[in-house]
Structure 1
Amino acid sequence: MRLLVLGGTSFVGRAVVTDALAHGLDVMLFGRGRTGRELFPQVPRLLGDRGTGDYAALAGGRWDAVVDVSAYVPRHVEEAGAALEGHDGRYLLVSTISVYDPARAAPQLAEDAPRLPAERGTEAVTPETYGALKVACEDDVRARYGDAATVVRPGIVAGPHDPTDRFTYWVRRAARGGRMALPGRPEQPVQVVDSRDLARLVTGLLVDDRPGTYDAVGPAEPVTLAGLAAACAEAAGTRVELVRVAPGAAAVPLVLGDPAADPLFGRRADRARAAGLTGTPLVQTARDVLSWDRDRAEPPLAVGPTPEQEAALLRAAQR
C-alpha cells in the first residue's frame, strides 16, 4: 500500500508513520520540512506548506490512501482535496472528540452523538473554535470522498513525544512521590489513549479499507484521576497521596472544574475496539513516557503548577 501522510513528524503523525512502516506500508510524507528532519530517513518527503496553500509537490502523485493529521481548518481539506484531484483511495482524517457538543453530552456517548455547529467564519484555532473547525473539516472530507472517507476522533492522546505535556505532567509529578495537590475530585473520570494504540487503529483501518467514524479513547478499563495518579506512581516505583486543594487554585491538566463536564471523559470506544483499537495498560504508557521524559532531561513543562507553586498550595491546604 502506498500511503501519503499529510504531516507525520510531530506526535500523532510520528506514531502513525512508525506503525505504518512497521506494517510494511510504502510511506511518503508531505510537510514543511521544518521539524523532525532526523526522523524516518528512509521515507521520501514532499515539501509544501498548508498555511500558504502550497501543495505543488503533490501534483501528479498517486497513493492508495491518505492520512491527514494536520488539517485544522476547512481550507486545509479543500486545498488538499484539489491538489489530490483524481485520488480515489481512502482518505482518513484524524479529528477529535472536541467536535461533540458539550451542552448535549451524556455519559457513555458513541459516535452518533450531537456535534457542534461547523465553524467556517474564522481560521483562528483557539480552545473555543477548535472543535467546531474540526466539524467543518469532517463534513468536507465526507462530502468530497463519500464512502472512501474515514474519520478517527481521538480523545486526549498520551505517549512519548507529546508536545502538550498534559499526561507528562502526571507522570513526572507522580515520579516525585509524596503529597500531590489536586484541585479537583479524585473520583473524576479521565480518558487517555496511547499514541501507539491510536496509530495501530489508523493503520488497520487503512489496510482493511474501512469507512466510518471511530472514537479512539482509552484506556481499555475506566479510570479516575486517583487511578491515573496511582498508575503513574506504580510506573515510577513511588507512592503518592492526593491532597484536595481549592478548585481552580491551579491549572492541572485533565482536571475538569465542573462535574457536569464529566461526560467529556465518557466516550465509548466499542466501534474502534471492534476495528482493532488496542489497549496498552496505563502503567506501561506512563512507564514509557517517564523514560522518554528523562531521556530529554525533563525540560520545563508547558502545563501544570511548578514544584514551588504546588508546595504553596499544599501549605495552604494545611491551614
Structure 2
Amino acid sequence: MTDTALVIGGTRFIGRHTVSDLLANDYEVTTLNRGTREDPFADDDRVTHVEGDRTNERDLRTAKLSADPDIVVDCVAYYPADVETAVDVFADVDGYVYISSGSSYAEEEIPKREGETPLHACTPEQATDESDETYGNRKAEADRIVFAAAEEGVNAMAVRPCIVYGPHDYTERLDYWIDRVLSYDQVIVPGDGQNLWHRAYVEDVASALRIVAERGEPGAAYNVGDRRALTLEETLETIAAAAGADCEVVPASGDALAAGGLEPDDFVLYREYPHLLDTCALADLGWESTPVEEAMARTVADHREAERDGSEWDPGRDAEERVLGVKETL
C-alpha cells in the first residue's frame, strides 16, 4: 500500500522541494494552497492539488478527507493559531511536522540545542503580529503548541531550519552574493569575513521533514542545517569555486565601510554574533547533509538559469567601490 502525504504549501521553495523528496520516496502527495502561484506539479499525476486557505479550518479538513494522509508537512504556518488548528485537525495522522525556525531560540549560544537553549516568549499581541520583529516569538509559541499536542497523544513534531538556500529561493539572499562573485573581480565582505550565520540546503530540509515525519519522536524539535557551516568568506570562496570564477574576497572593517557610507548590517547574511544549530538529533534519525560544495554547485547552476540577482539586497556598488578605493590607499 502506497504511503500518502499532505503538504500544506508545496509550490514555492521548501514546499516544492518537499513534494519532490516525497515523490522520490514513493509517496502519493496532495498539496493544499490557494493556487495563486504557478504549480510545478500541475502535470504530475502523482500529485493532487486541493485549493484552499490553510488558515481556514474547513479547508484543512477538506484536504485531509481528500488526501487521507499518513503524514502531514506544514510549510506555511506563520502564526500559533495556525498550528493550534492543525494539531487538532490532524490529531490522528502518523506524523504531523510543523516547519519552525532557528529564530525560535531566545539565547545567543554556540551551538543552539533543542531542549536546552531557551525559546522566545510570546505575548498575545505578538502571537498575531505580522512584523518581522515577532517572527521568532510566533514560531516559538507554535513549537510549544506542538509539544502540548504531543502530550495529548498527537504525533506532532517541529523542524527548525536556519537560513535556507538552494534552487528556487525566492528570498534571493544568497543570490545577491552569487551575483557579486559572478559580476566582479573584488567582493567586499563586512568585518573580517569570519562571521557565521548557519545555513541549510533546501533539499536537506525537505528530506529532514520527511524523516522526522516517519521516525521522529512526538513532541520533539529537530534543528536542520548544513553539517559543515561556512563563514561568509568561505561561502564566497565556495561560490567562486562552484562557478569557476576568479574573485578576491575583500574584508572591510567598520571604519573602512564608513568611507562608503556603509555599515556591516547593510550586507545580507551578515550577523555579528555567530548563529549555529546543533543537528545531532536529526542525524541520529538517519538524516544526512549534502556536502556544501555539491549544494553550492546546484545553487549556482540554478542562479544562472533563473532571473534572480538579489538586487533588493544590494547596498550599492558605487559605495563598495569607494570602500575598495580607501582600502587600496591603506
Deviates most, 129-138 or 307-316: 307-316
Q: Residue 217 of structure 1 corresponds to which residue in structure 2?
A: 225
Quick check: 1:270 aligned with 2:280?
yes
2:125 counterpart (117, 121, 126)? 121
CA contact (8 A) 2:105 2:112 kept: no
Return the offset for 1:254: 1.2
1:183·1:249 contact (CA, 8 Å) conserved in 2?
yes
Q: Secondary structure at the match of 2:178?
A: helix
SS of equivalent residue, structure 2 residue 72 = strand
CA contact (8 A) 1:164 1:303 kept: no
Once residues 59 and 271 of structure 1 are traced to their aligned partners in structure 2, the CA distance between those partners, rounded to angstroms, is: 29
In the TM superposition, what are the counterparts of 1:1-319 in structure 2 within 5 Å?
1-41=3-43, 42=45, 43-51=47-55, 55=59, 57-58=62-63, 60-61=65-66, 62-82=68-88, 84=89, 87-101=92-106, 104-112=107-115, 113-122=117-126, 123-146=128-151, 148-208=155-215, 210-211=217-218, 212-218=220-226, 220-243=227-250, 244=252, 245-246=256-257, 248=263, 251-256=266-271, 258=272, 261-262=273-274, 265-299=275-309, 301-318=311-328
Report how far residue 236 of structure 1 moved: 0.9
8 Å CA contact 2:166, 2:296 repeated in 1 = yes
* Alpha-carbon distance between aligned partners in 2 of 1:270 and 1:318, rounded to the nearest angstrom: 44
User: How many aligned positions are there?
Assistant: 310
For 1:149 and 1:250, the matched residues in 2 are separated by 37
Determine what percentage of the aligned residue pairs are the same residue.
25
CA pair 205-51 structure 1, distance change in 2 beyond 3 A: closer
Query: Could you tell me which amino acid in structure 1 is paired with residue 278 of structure 2?
Result: R
TM-score by length of 2: 0.85
- Report SS of the residue matched to 1:189: coil
Contact 1:6 1:30 in 2 (8 A): yes
Distance 1:85 1:298, change over 3 A: closer
* TM-score between both structures, scaled by the size of structure 1: 0.88
Contiguous gaps of at least 5 residues in structure 2 = none
SS in 1 for 2:203: helix
The answer to whether the Cα contact below 8 Å between 2:215 and 2:285 also exists between their aligned partners in 1 is: no
> Which string of whole-angstrom CA distances, capped at 9 and with x for unpartnered residues, describes residues 25-68 of structure 1?
11101110111324353211111113566526336453211111
For residues 191 and 249 of structure 1, the distance between their equivalents in structure 2, rounded to whole angstroms, comes to: 17
State the distance in 2 between where 1:191 and 1:100 align: 14
Change (3 A) 1:314 1:21: same
Runs of 5+ consecutive residues of structure 1 not aligned to the other structure = none
Cα distance in 2 for partners of 1:51, 1:250 equals 34
